[in-house]
Each structure stands twice: as structure tokens, then as C-alpha cells.
Amino acid sequence: MGEWSEYFEDFPEENPSNYIDGTFNPRLAARISAQEHKQADANKAANAELNAMITKAKSDTKARSLLVTEGCPQCGLNELNTYKISDKFYLCECQDCGIYGKGTTHQIAFKSTSDAIGEFKDWREGSEY
């Protein structure tokens, strides 16, 4: 790789990335490449911003939808939050050990949480919501 880039510095007309539509044009090629990098950076920043917005929207929704806090089937602490995200989407998440589960009713969500005991699931590392 290093050898090729040195070679292309000495013989830029041999570098295929210096051709635009078959015409040797290293300045335009460099400008397009720089624009592409700038666009990629902008896309990355936009995605990060979007992800932050989604994360915030989800945590706002959870704050609004907290139904009950009860004993966690795994760690036993009174840290299991159940959220009613929508009429048919209940979500349990333990604020301590991280176990989680979902279901169309509170009971089903609680059962799916209980069924996950021993799977070492943690909603903070990727939840159902």
C-alpha cells in the first residue's frame, strides 16, 4: 500500500483514482474525494444526532408510560419498571440487574421477563424498545 502511494505520487497519471470519466483530472478527483469524505462525516454526525433524538424520545416515552414498579423476578429488588408503551405493548425493565421482557399485556411482559432469568440480558445494552 505504502509503495503504491509513493509510486502514484511520482506517476499520478498511472493512478486510476485520478481519472474522472476516463479523463486524467487529479485536481477534480481530489476535490470529489474531499467532498465525499465531507459528506460521509456529515452523514455520520447526522446519524449520531438522530440516534440521540431517538434515545431521548424513547426515554421521554418511558417516563410518561411508567405503569408500575415491582419486585424483579431475577434480582428480587423492587426495581422492575413496567411501561405501557401502547395498548398492546408492555415492557418490563429492571433498573438494577437489567433483565427485560415485553408482551401485549402486563402479565405476558412479566412472564417473558421471568423466562429470561439466567440469560444475562440487559436492556441498557439493547432492549425491545
Residue 74 is classified by DSSP as T
Only segment of 39-47, 54-62, 93-101, 116-124 that touches Zn ion (CB under 5 A): 93-101
Q: Should residue 94 be labelled a site residue for Zn ion when binding is judged by CB under 5 A?
A: yes
Give 34 or 77: the residue with its C-beta nearer to Zn ion: 77
Q: Could you tell me which residues come within 8 angstroms of residue 96 by beta carbon, excluding any fewer than 6 positions away?
A: 72, 75, 77, 79
Instruction: Supply 54's cell numbers.
Output: 431517538
Q: Could you tell me which residues come within 8 angstroms of residue 93 by beta carbon, excluding any fewer than 6 positions away?
A: 80, 81, 83, 99, 100, 123, 127
Q: Closest distance between Zn ion and the C-beta of residue 98, in Å?
A: 7
> Hunting for cell 405476558 — which residue is that?
108
Give 14 or 96: the residue with its C-beta nearer to Zn ion: 96
Size of the site for Zn ion (CB under 5 A): 6
Give 73 or 103: the residue with its C-beta nearer to Zn ion: 73
Q: Would you give the binding string for Zn ion spanning residues 49-88, x where CB under 5 A is met?
A: -----------------------x-xx-------------
Q: Should residue 113 be labelled a site residue for Zn ion when binding is judged by CB under 5 A?
A: no
Which residue of 85, 91, 92, 97 would you call a contact of Zn ion, by CB under 5 A? Answer: 97
Buried b / exposed e along 9-31 (16+ C-beta atoms within 10 A): eeeeeebeebeeeeeeeeeebee
The site for Zn ion (CB under 5 A) is made up of 72, 74-75, 94, 96-97
